[in-house]
Amino acid sequence: IGHFDDFPYFFGDKGSITEKSDIKVQNLIVSTLTNFAKYGNPNLSSLPCNCSWEEATKKNFRYLSIKEFPEMKDYEFPEANNFWSRLKTMQNE
């Protein structure tokens, strides 16, 4: 997905999301972002899936693949992670 391609999933661009699988993805995106904004945790029982969004850490750098049946996946570009981990930032101290 490129920039702005996900716009209809966030804001419900009328008519552009009609497939059941796309509606499920939209519900997942809105639910996880709302949960995170309200409670600081995207994982609540109100999620429209049987999934858990694990926290990414230096030792567990995984991500939630957002799709009709979401799943946690291992990050596929460890060399990029190594680059970001070497930067002098507050998170890397």
What's the rounded Cα separation, in Å, for the pair 82 and 93?
Answer: 14
What's the rounded Cα separation, in Å, for the pair 5 and 87?
Answer: 30
What's the rounded Cα separation, in Å, for the pair 60 and 17?
Answer: 33
pLDDT at 1 over 70: no
pLDDT at 79 over 90: no
Per-residue pLDDT, 18: 86
25-76 pLDDT tens trace: 888 888 888 889 999 888 877 666 677 888 887 777 788 888 888 888 888 8
What's the rounded Cα separation, in Å, for the pair 71 and 73?
Answer: 6
